[in-house]
Amino acid sequence: MTVAPQAPSPVQTLLSDASRAYEHGSFPLAGELALQATRLEPNNAEAHYITGLACLQTQQLNRALEHLNRAVGLNAKSAEYTTHFARALAYAQRYSEALQVANIAYALPAAGPLTLDVLGTVYMQCNAHERAHVLFRRAVALAPDNAICRFNAAVTDTFTGQLAAAEEQFNRCIELQPEFWNAYGLRSRLRKQTASNNHIDALQALLTANAGNIDAQIYLHGALGKEYEDLGDYAKAFEHLSLGKAAARQRVAYQPKQDSAMVDALIRAFPDQLSTETGYGSDEPIFIVGMPRSGTTLVERILSSHPEVYSAGELMNFGAQLERMAPSGIPARLSPALIEQSHRLDWERLGLRYVDSTRPQTATKPRFIDKLPHNFLYLGLIAKALPKAKIICLRRHPLDTSLSNFREMFQENSGFHGYSFDLLDIGRFYIQFDRMMAHWNAVMPGRVLQVDYEALVTEQESTTRQLLAHCNLSWNDACLHFEKNTSAVATASTAQVREPIHRQAIGRWEKYRPWLDPLEQLLNQAGIETNT
């Protein structure tokens, strides 16, 4: 006697349809179907999981967190559910909670390679790069033919200083997926290319074959710019850098006037010398700020070589806490409207919430570094919220700084680097940075230690002593030998920070001088000296 197969229940049918819709990118439909399933079976973990994923894809962050949290509560042994809950928390910039949930997922068995890859990405967002590296390596071992796993493993190989291994991973990624364009640019930056060992011919052929592909143009031109510079052909290097940046600029909605308006609002909001009588009294934070590519990572590596200092990386935490405390009716992002209402903030609460949000990582040592260059915009708020925090600002020759930003292929969807896709936009952003720092130095004299990159490189010991004294840290010889610091570092200059200090980056702009006249004129007209 045969038994007829049992028909799927209405909930099973809904979840099957929701899964198919999600796989095909129909996220609103997937969310609607899965939500119906939660109403029929409120304790169905899979229904809450799919609903949460769909909400995350459709920018319904609070609902995504609610449903993913519910899925984990109903099935706490699922590494997949827990990983994606951690992912949503990181997306919400709740990094401390994301790290705690990620650690739970890390301990759960039976995670597949794609789940491991997602979990590794969460750890990267939480600046836990060593643990991310372990997970990406595991993912590669389980799925050696997955290009994304190879790419992510290569990135964390780079962060942990394993540059030869990174090049192997990028090569394998490219073999598996030749259109993984970002891998070409990152691979070219791992080492100095030579006449006998470079990728120029292959990159040129790919460029010709993909003339209509903007992503290919961005990253292939960027890679060629780096490789031609290594070979000393600065004309071709600048040509390719310019073409790559121009391709990206088409898709970047950067408006220089917005940065100017932001600086104007900050100057209006903090017109007089700042009082430091309020705020949270922790002396743990050390903020390192400046223009990107000005030497902030070098200072971070020097200070984090001190046994009392932990490097927390480029934290988004201060801005995230500020936005959460924004008065009602104000957009939850740094804006002139929020700045103008900043006098209503509870400064002590803001400082406390910031420090708490960095836990548990920053509780391991007496002091910690927050090295987000763009925190230069927040210095007035930081000074009031954290009156005992130490602040260091890096300054580098304006043309070297601008050129270094132009040479770096930042992600075009970055919330910080929209200015970087046009040489004159970079100059305009530098002018706003210079205005902002001049104002902070005027209203809080002596609070910010100004460090010249060139002085640090040419007078390493005396500048290092100045840095340590400013941070109330005792002398330690390890700070002179930062290249021996084995901790992971996420920076565009990851290869350089593992070498002893050298002068090769000083005056690089002179090699590109024939093409920098418009930039130099722009800076000079704003009163910024470029002849020093």
Written as tens digits, the pLDDT of the chain (532 aa) is 455 566 788 889 999 999 999 999 999 999 999 999 999 999 999 999 999 999 999 999 999 999 999 999 999 999 999 999 999 999 998 888 999 999 999 999 877 999 999 999 999 998 888 999 999 999 999 999 999 999 999 999 999 889 999 999 999 999 999 999 999 999 999 999 999 999 999 999 999 999 989 999 999 999 999 999 999 999 999 999 999 999 999 888 889 999 999 999 999 999 888 877 789 999 999 999 999 999 999 999 999 999 999 999 899 899 989 888 877 666 556 788 888 888 888 999 999 999 999 988 888 899 999 999 999 999 999 999 999 999 999 999 999 999 999 999 888 777 788 899 999 999 999 999 999 999 999 999 999 999 999 999 999 999 999 999 999 999 999 999 888 777 766 655 555 555 666 677 788 999 999 999 999 999 999 999 998 6
User: Which one of 3.90.740.10, 3.40.50.300, 3.30.360.10, 1.20.120.1200 gives the CATH number of domain 256-525?
Assistant: 3.40.50.300
Q: Residue for token digits 């100095």?
A: 192
Distance, CA of 362 to CA of 221 (rounded, Å) = 40
CB-based burial label for 1 (10 Å; 0-12, 13-18, 19+) = exposed
Q: What are 234-238's contacts with CB under 8 Å, separation 24+?
A: 234/511, 234/512, 235/514, 237/512, 238/512, 238/515
Sign of dihedral through CA atoms 87, 88, 94, 99?
A: negative
Distance, CA of 478 to CA of 455 (rounded, Å) = 19
Domain with CATH 3.40.50.300 in the chain: 256-525
* Cα 477 versus chain centre, distance: 30
Per-residue model confidence (pLDDT) at position 49: 96
Per-residue model confidence (pLDDT) at position 338: 83
Helices 129-142 and 147-159 sit at what angle, rounded to 10 degrees?
150
Q: Are 351 and 385 in contact (CB under 8 A)?
A: yes
CA dihedral 56, 59, 61, 63 (to 10 degrees): -80
Helix (H, G, I), strand (E, B) or coil at 197: strand
Quick one: tokens of 121?
A: 């990405």
**pTM of this structure:** 0.88
Helix (H, G, I), strand (E, B) or coil at 94: coil
Per-residue model confidence (pLDDT) at position 331: 59
Quick one: tokens of 195?
A: 């006449």
